[in-house]
Structure 1
Amino acid sequence: RLDDEILDSKVFTLNNNDLKLSKIVAVSGDVSSPGLGLSDGDRELLVREVSVVFHSAASVKFHGPLNDFIAQNVYGTQSVMQLCDKMTKLEALVYVSTAYANCSLLEIKEEVYKLQQNSAETIRLAQTTGADTDSQAMRELMEGRPNSYTFSKAIAENLVTEGYSHLPLVIVRPSIVTPAVKEPAPGWVDNVNGVAGALLLGALGIARTMEVNCDAKADLIPVDMIANSLVVIGWHTGAHANDRKKVIHLTSGVENPVTWGKFLDHSRVAAVKAPSIRMVRPLAKNPTSLKGPVGRVNHLVTKWVSHVLFAYFVDLILTLLGYKRLMVKVTRKMHRAFEVLEHFTSKEWVFHNRNYYDIHDRLSPEDQRLYFSDIRRLDWRIYAENLYLGTRRYLLKEDDSNIDKAQTRITYITLFYNLFLLVLSK
């Protein structure tokens, strides 16, 4: 798996600056298995040789059986802590959580927020209450958190601080992770999760509406800036034992805010300039906030008419032409994904984030360049355009050379689509 899925990734092939990949050694394991599923030999090797640990393995699906999240995100983290507790050379342990572990609060400081019960009791109550996260008892236990993922991360944070505060531990909380700003290439992305997937569906003309507060800050952080930040944090934790940070937010809303409306508008401009050759209908209009009953009704009508009915119509045409039906299935998956995102696109949080810049601003200019992670220097317009182009290049696998052809195609699609709407209106 190391060679086939990781080292062959474009992360390494797009920008290979003589990387010493031969130094990477893989060990077999499973974060949800007892003892991480490590063999005795691998465990002894790690205990004897490792000095810096980055723990980011987790289930990042937002919904699902709570017991699965506890097994992977809580017990898995506990197993990592137990392993690290035995390491003879350990200098830094970086645990990657999420800025939304305490999203029931609208202002979140760089500290661990204690649960009503300790972590062990919370786990016991969660497992005895049942798997239904919509039950009254479970909602009370989750203390306002919207899903199993954020709840499991809050439990894990409490677990590591309760039992392993003697370790050189720092908890890092990124906000919404988005495609790369620089490395391995501007806009690089390899999955359709989160913002990239939503923008992709919009750029294809499939998505026409989503619950978004266009006036709220979109707290986004590019994946390569997170990676660089983690390296810097790991170095600082090991090199400055007397100045260790307990919690560090990797967020953008305070230092370099951009609203959802502005970010989506920037992305739409890029999609107009370089449309996808696979676009099925024209882009939706500029996004507007769904404020009040009128906005809500407009959203629901658009969702059912322009998403659901359109999907059935397209599948009917595909069937008549002898092709496999797919649009209804895509639309259902899109709605499920949007339901997950909408809690985070319709609200706004304030994440205090001075701890990282206390570290970053003491780096040399050369290290700041090599480990680019200063969100204050990000131009959101340029980034949004590159993000869209990244989804076009790396998710849709479309070369920039077909942009002119795509623009011609969308001209005809727009003409026929508008004629179709005109006929329906009659």
Structure 2
Amino acid sequence: MESNKLKSIKEFYNGKIILVTGGTGFLGKTLIEKLLWSCDGVEKIILLLRSKKGKSVEDRIASLKREVAFQRIHEKKPSVLDKIIGIEADLSAGSLKFESENGDFVSNELRNVNLIFHCAASVRFDDPLKKAILINVCATKALLDFAKTLQHLEVFMHVSTAYSNCDRFEIDEKLYPASVDWRYAIKISEQFDEEILDALFYKFSNNMANTYVFTKKIAEHMVDDYKNALPIVIYRPSIVTSAEVEPLPGFIDNFNGPLGLLVATSMGVNRTSWQSHKAAINATPVDMCIKGIIIAAMRCPESWKETKDIQIYNAASIKTPTYLHMIKKGKRFIVKDAPLNIFIWRPGGRITQCYYEFYLRFMLTQVLPAIGADVVLKLLNRKPFFLKLQRALMTVQKNLHFFMNNTWEISNHNFLHLNEFVPASELIDFEIKEVYPEYIEYGTLSLMGARRFLLNWPDEDLKKARRNYRIAVLIDSILKYTILSGIFWYFYRKYFFSGREIFLTGGTGFIGKAVIEKLLRSCPDLSKIYILIRPKRGKTLNERLNTLKSDILFRKLLHANPHAFEKVIGIKGDVTCENLGISPPDITRLENVSIMIHSSASVRFDDELKDAILTNVRSTYEMVRIGLTLKKLDAFIHISTAFCNSDYKVIEEKIYPEHGDWKKAIKLALNMDRDILNSLTMKLTDFLPNTYLYTKGLAENICNDFKEHLPIVIYRPAIVTGCEVEPIPGFVDNFNGIVGLAVASGTGIQRSLYCLRDAELFCTPVDTSVRGIISSTWRKVLCEPKHDLSIYNCSNGTTSITEIMSVSYKFIEKVPLLNTVWTPTDIATTSLCWDYICAVFLHFLPALLIDFIATHFMNQKPILLRVQRKIRHAQLALRYFIINKWIIRNDNYASLSSCLKDCDKKSFDTSSDAIENRKQYIIDQILYCRRYLLNQPDDTIPAAKAHYWRLYVLDKLLKIGFVILALYGMFKLLKFLDVIKI
């Protein structure tokens, strides 16, 4: 619609006589103020009032005009306040009774009314049914009957509520079937006494939530019956909250709705709530609501002439934050920025859907402290009030329970459509914003409004209030730390795991088996450890379990406790399958599991994308799904990697923006052809170095998405290396990390490396890492909020590649390896060209030569060229990590040790001396590798030394021969050049 064809809203209201009910209420007074400010051409605004608390109508009008809501009018247009006229009347009897002695005056004032805004209502949820019908139904009927007598009436605006149809969860802008006929409701309110009506309410109302929404619903149907005789609008606001801009930012005149919850929480008197975490709140700022009323009234005459039908508007928000979000942001930001002058304790607490938990928390954290505070007040000869306040809060909790446990989809198309009828010149006065204010800013504004307009505290007190709040936070933190420290003293980690059942994936891997060994040795009273095992290479579940038991890692444990491994139970499954491939009977066996540790992963950097997604992403999702079914689950530990966010040079203990949608990734892996996925790998992984890091990042996003539903810890080890101390110094079961580099170089197979000589490797010994896993699990259960995502970057320091190679070469000279191909060397370069030359002449050509000799002269199988291909492939995969540098922040991980008591540090300290004593640490790993991975016992050292020194002498002779040959060649070349000159 073109702006030049739009009717002016201000012109519409010029010369109009407006009748308002409920004009002294929050909505009513804001409506009056807006009309006088933006539509000052109105002729009169008539308020229907009753004498109240000894005040006459004239006194109430005078008091209304002095209210702060009219501040800007007093400053700019004080004369327009004379347009407000009060008439004494009572609507609750079912007919309009004027109580003024001057009947002619009343008749003259009302005869020419053009618009009626019916805002009067009892909004109490616990009103007796009889009273609610009289105020919300009978009064509406009386006003409708009176409106039919008015010859100049253009609009009858009935203000209802968006929750009048809260018995359904999708509310459109239309009338829904009535639960009872309004005539019958009025009839029984006249015939039955209050007690009988209240006893029959839920039966009579068809289980409506309360008398307020029930009577507003039947009032809507009564209004609808008058639609042929009157131009009617039904206007349904949601929860009307503080003003965003006008008449004053933050303006409010009551503690109803979310503000009451916010103020009570800010004072520290409300510390628990009986509601759902997921329930959303639909609130509309009062100034937005009023603009809609004014525009809808302007639109009514034309629409009614065209359709003779009723118009309905749901004045609801398009933003619906959850109560949990509101409380969290309130505690973290809003209360901090706008604290109250008076608060009993630092804001905090917990919401729960369980009534028994709520009741227990209410008694312990609210009622008992209230009794104590009232006793102190009594001793000081002051009036106690805290227990009375807690009774009121309990009543409010019960009244609001239905609304704080459900979420409604409230359609507001007609409401937002009103913007199309606002001329461009009047947008500044009447535009309804489709984007509502951000909650933190609006929440702070609302709390400031409560300070200014309800509690009458000047802004000058804010600085002092903030200081007092910081002091309260400090005291609260000290007390909590003291109490928790006391709890720590009694709940040691070994007792924490007593009687618990643990489910572990990746139990046959390096970290997994170290976790099993540590738990069985240091927490011997645990009940069971279920480990997921896949039958592999023709071995059954029990065969693989026996193989695990025979691992040298468990030798010390089984020597001390031969029956320890009986607590380890194998569960047949596959991490790449749905439900991890676990059968229903085995799922049932896991019902008492309280700790899940997801250690399974494919750590290959060159995995195809399909395999990496199924192993690292889908497995995490399936673990989460199983976790959601476990009623006793206290902690879900996801083992990730410190490098899954390696595209950031500073890696902190937080969640980073995702590189893709994990749901889509799983869907692609399940449905798309392997070759197509491989061709799209770089595009899909956002050009990350490899599929391992990409999929581990997606797995972290899964954990973040389910943090509200599970108590999740993301544990990110750096490069996990051999044991530092326990159970066997140097223990390692693979050639990754330090060991692989040392062995490949020590045997002379790897003679050059493309890397920065000062490139730092972030390492963590496996025993230290496992202690961190156990400590973070304990800390999550006892010390941290269940729904906060805990993240630990497990890194115990750095060591350079140069240092590893240097220590390795020196030690291997003393304790060489059998089958050494050549003497070690340490060529490190950052030149791709030189690296390629070294690879050809120092790796592949010697490998070809040796394989040729082995095949043709020694009748042996050629293997060295195949080994060189693997080494080269590994070098290319690792290149990204050994030519870049990172800073890994690990404050959370470092703080684990500070929580330990002296008696726990021996078993669970996460600090490590491996980096300080790195020389001995590297030697321990090489010795273990020599003895157990390469099966070279110590009695082979003399033979290895003899072989090594033969190679050493041969190497020197060849080098000397090469130098002599080079010098001889140069001599011949110079001599040849001299001959040419002659």
TM over 0.5: yes
CA contact (8 A) 2:637 2:714 kept: yes
Return the offset for 1:67: 1.1
Partner of 1:7: 549
Tell me if the contact between 1:59 and 1:69 (Cα under 8 Å) persists in the aligned partners.
yes
Structure 2: how far apart are the matches of 1:365 and 1:131?
56
CA distance in 2, matches of 1:37, 1:390: 36
Give the distance between the partners of 1:195 and 1:342, measured in 2 at CA: 15
Q: Partners of 2:631 and 2:958 in 1: how far apart?
A: 70
Contact 1:186 1:386 in 2 (8 A): yes
Report the Cα offset of residue 171 of structure 1: 0.5
Query: Could you say what secondary structure the match of 2:643 adopts?
Result: helix
Q: Distance in 2 between matches of 1:413 and 1:344?
A: 33
Tell me what 1:279 maps to: 820
Distance 2:675 2:641 in 1: 22
- d(CA) in 2 for partners of 1:272, 1:403: 11
**1:35·1:79 contact (CA, 8 Å) conserved in 2?**
yes
Counterpart in the other structure of 1:78: 621
Paired AA for residue 795 in structure 2: T
Distance 1:267 1:192, change over 3 A: same
Supply the distance in 1 between the matched residues of 2:691 and 2:660 (Cα, whole angstroms): 17
| Paired residues of 1:15 and 1:183 also in contact (CA < 8 A) | no
CA shift for structure 1 position 78: 0.5
Deviation of 1:155 (Å):
0.9
1:199-238 map, 5 Å: 199-238=742-781
Q: What is the SS of the residue equivalent to 1:99? A: coil
**Equivalent AA in structure 2 for residue 9 of structure 1:** D
> Partner residue of 1:103?
646
Equivalent residue for 2:570, pick from 19, 22, 26: 26
Match of 1:314 among 845, 850, 853: 850
Q: Structure 1 residue aligned with 2:877, among 322, 340, 345?
A: 340
Give the Cα separation in 1 of the matches to 2:929 and 2:689. 28
Are 1:357 and 2:894 an aligned pair? yes
The structure that is strand-richer by fraction is 2
The whole-number CA distance in structure 1 between the counterparts of 2:913 and 2:954 is 44
- In the alignment, the residues of structure 2 paired with residue 68 and residue 245 of structure 1 have an alpha-carbon distance, to the nearest angstrom, of 27
User: Who is 1:389 aligned against?
Assistant: 927
Give yes or no for contact 2:610–2:677 (8 Å, CA) kept in 1.
no
422 and 377 in structure 1: CA distance in 2 versus 1, 3 angstrom threshold: closer
1:353 partner letter: N
Q: Is the 8 A contact 1:189 1:394 kept in 2?
A: no
* Alpha carbons 1:248, 1:356 under 8 Å: kept: yes
Q: Which residue of 1 aligns with 2:40?
A: none
Q: CA offset at residue 113 of structure 1?
A: 1.1
Distance 1:138 1:191, change over 3 A: closer
Residue type at the aligned position of 2:881: F
What is the Cα deviation at residue 279 of structure 1? 1.1
1:416 counterpart residue number: 954
Identify the residue that residue 327 of structure 1 maps to in structure 2.
Answer: 864
Contact 2:823 2:952 in 1 (8 A): yes
* CA distance in 1 between partners of 2:676 and 2:689 (Å): 13
The structure 1 residue matched to 2:657, chosen from 84, 97, 114, is 114
Please state how far the C-alpha of 1:190 moved relative to its aligned partner. 1.6
Q: Distance in 2 between matches of 1:15 and 1:343?
A: 39
1:422 offset after TM fit, Å? 4.6
**Equivalent of residue 798 in structure 2, options 257, 282, 304:** 257
Output the CA distance in 2 between the equivalents of 1:340 and 1:14: 36
The CA distance in 2 between the partners of 1:12 and 1:97, in whole Å, is 25
Tell me, in whole angstroms, the C-alpha distance in 1 between the residues paired with 2:695 and 2:706: 17
Contact 2:603–2:692 (CA<8 Å) still a contact in 1? yes
Name the counterpart of 1:402. 940
The aligned counterpart of 2:838 is 302
- 1: CA distance, partners of 2:556 / 2:722: 15
Deviation, structure 1 residue 352 = 0.7
Determine the C-alpha separation between the residues in 2 that align with 1:35 and 1:101. Answer: 25
Q: Cα gap change, 1:103/1:132 in structure 2, threshold over 3 Å: closer, same or farther?
A: farther
Of the candidates 675, 684, 704, which is equivalent to residue 161 of structure 1?
Answer: 704
Gaps of 5+ in 1: none
Change (3 A) 1:133 1:344: farther
Residue 370 (str. 1) matches residue 913 (str. 2): no
CA distance in 2, matches of 1:247, 1:130: 33
Distance 1:68 1:129 in 2: 12
572, 580, 592: which is aligned to 1:36? 580
Match of 2:716 in 1: 173
Q: Is the 8 A contact 1:133 1:139 kept in 2?
A: no
Match of 2:782 among 239, 244, 247: 239
Structure 1 distance, partners of 2:841, 2:808, is 24
Question: Is 1:315–1:328's contact at 8 Å kept on the other side of the alignment?
Answer: yes
3-state SS of paired residue (1:210)? strand
Residue in 2 that maps onto 1:267: 808
Change (3 A) 1:144 1:102: farther
Distance 1:152 1:105, change over 3 A: same
> SS where residue 760 of structure 2 aligns?
coil
The one-letter amino acid paired with 1:246 is: S
Change (3 A) 1:80 1:214: same
Structure 2 contact 650–887 (Cα < 8 Å) conserved: yes
CA contact (8 A) 1:50 1:87 kept: yes
1:58 alignment counterpart: 601
One-letter code aligned to 1:361:
S
Structure 2: distance between partners of 1:382 and 1:241:
37
Find the residue that maps to 2:761 and give its secondary structure: coil
| Mean CA deviation greater in 49-58 or 192-201 | 192-201
**Cα deviations across residues 252-280 of structure 1 (Å, max 9, x unaligned)?**
3xxx3322222322222222221112211
Aligned counterparts of 1:116 and 1:191: Cα–Cα separation in 2: 30
Larger radius of gyration: 2
Q: Deviations over 1:197-244 (max 9, x none)?
A: 222111111110122212121111122221221111111112223386
**Larger deviation: 137-146 or 105-114?**
137-146
**Superposition pairs of residues 123-138 of structure 1, within 5 angstroms:** 123=666, 138=681
Q: Distance in 2 between matches of 1:231 and 1:315?
A: 48
Give a deviation string over 1:128-179, Cα, whole Å, max 9, x none: 69757886x6434423411111101111111221134321101011111112
Alignment size in residue pairs:
416
Unaligned runs of 5+ in 2: 1-542, 966-982
Aligned-pair RMSD on alpha carbons?
2.3
Structure-2 separation of matches of 1:233 and 1:31: 24
Q: 1:402 to 1:59 in 2, by over 3 A?
A: same
Where 1:27 maps in the other structure, the secondary structure is strand
Q: 2: distance between equivalents of 1:120 and 1:39?
A: 24
1:133·1:147 contact (CA, 8 Å) conserved in 2? Answer: no
Identical pairs, percent: 26
